[in-house]
Structure 1
Amino acid sequence: MSNFFNNLGIDIGYIIIVLTVLVIALLVTVIILLVKTHKLNDRYEKFMKGKNGEELEQVIYERFAELDIMQQIATQHATDIRDLKRKFRSSFSKVGIVKYDAFKEMGGTLSFALALLTDRNSGFLINCMHSREGCYTYIKEIINGESYIALSEEEKEALKSAINMKNPLAD
């Protein structure tokens, strides 16, 4: 064989070096594959710990049943949220308040105008005027953002504030 390489003009030492490098590369590859196989085997043992094929199949069926239940619950929650949003439309979700002095001789801004509206801008406007003789409260109905009774400047401001309030549950 040595004559064969000599006839080709190749030194046998180069061939030994190339083969040695190739053997080392293959040895490193084998070691890496052994480590990966060991890790995979550990994960498999952990996964299969205390289970045979039938038990594992039962566990998988149970997980799928749990997923079905969770999906039903999620669907019910979506329905409940939709119903709550629908009911919320008729509740007072917008508020506007303006505090003011009803009479010049009174201080402390004890009077106020309070607008309570649904998301459709219907509701009530309450005006509470405080004086030395007492406290007087008036209520006015608001339909679609308008009152059929004349409004004071403070009431208009409270109504405008409530109408411009962003509804947190609006779609």
Structure 2
Amino acid sequence: MESNILNLLGLGNIDPAIFILALLALVLILLLIVIIQGCKISKVSKKFNKFMTGKDAKSLEDEIVDLFHENKMIRAENDKNRKDIQDINKRMQRTFQKIGLEKYDAFSQMGGQLSFALCMLDENDNGFLMNSVHSTDGLNYSYSKVINAGIADVELSDEEKKALDSARESVRR
């Protein structure tokens, strides 16, 4: 079968059935694309209809205004929470966070380690050291020493130094 049109295009020696099959394949591909696009449009249409059900422009405006109001309230609450957390962190710096305890025998003939040195420090290594000495006659003698920036106001015994070092190392950040 000869075609004048194909001869003019320089494709006269190609069978016209090949062109028809190629065009049929192209039509099928385009039909598939149309079906896919129709499905996508249907999904968007369903979402739009669900969103607009029972609503007019005024009620949508009210909803948007409510959302902005809620957003503003949430931001204010968030700012308040942030300030509260900063306040708590400031307070935490002044609370005792580091504790060191050193138990010992004050006298060589006694056992049971009834004497102790207790050190309690805040974040800046300020606090106190308490030493409780259990004597051979069964009495307890307690002494306290002020600690500023990790330094005692008076000379420390070996046990007190151990308690202070233990407290300073008890919290690592």
Q: If the TM-score is normalised by the length of the shorter chain, which range does it land in? A: 0.7 to 0.9
1:54 pairs with 46, 58, 61, which one? 58
- Mapped pair 1:92 → 2:96: yes
Tell me the residue number matched to 2:4: 3
Query: How far apart are 1:167 and its partner, in Å?
Result: 6.4
Query: How far apart are 1:163 and its partner, in Å?
Result: 2.3
1:9-158 to structure 2, matched below 5 A, reads 9=12, 10-131=14-135, 133-158=138-163
Query: How far apart are 1:68 and its partner, in Å?
Result: 0.8
- Mapped pair 1:161 → 2:166: yes
**Runs of 5+ consecutive residues of structure 1 not aligned to the other structure:** none
Query: How far apart are 1:6 and its partner, in Å?
Result: 5.0
Aligned length in residues: 168
CA contact (8 A) 1:94 1:167 kept: no
**Runs of 5+ consecutive residues of structure 2 not aligned to the other structure:** none
Query: How far apart are 1:166 and its partner, in Å?
Result: 3.4
Task: Return the alpha-carbon distance in structure 1 between the equivalents of residues 113 and 94 of structure 2.
Answer: 31
Partner-residue secondary structure (3-state), 1:109? coil
Give the TM-score, by structure 1 length: 0.86
Task: Return the alpha-carbon distance in structure 2 between the equivalents of residues 141 and 122 of structure 1.
Answer: 8
Comparing 67-76 with 141-150, which one deviates more in the overlay? 141-150
Query: How far apart are 1:158 and its partner, in Å?
Result: 1.0
Task: Return the alpha-carbon distance in structure 1 between the equivalents of residues 119 and 6 of structure 2.
Answer: 103
Comparing 124-133 with 64-73, which one deviates more in the overlay? 124-133
Change (3 A) 1:98 1:38: same
Deviations 1:90-111 (A, max 9, x none): 2222221222222333333332
Deviations 1:47-81 (A, max 9, x none): 22332221111111111111111111111112122
Query: How far apart are 1:20 and its partner, in Å?
Result: 0.4
Aligned CA RMSD, in angstroms, stands at 2.2
Task: Return the alpha-carbon distance in structure 1 between the equivalents of residues 44 and 114 of structure 2.
Answer: 76
Change (3 A) 1:49 1:98: farther
**Percent identity of equivalent pairs:** 40
Query: How far apart are 1:135 and its partner, in Å?
Result: 2.7
Counterpart residue identity of residue 4, structure 2? N
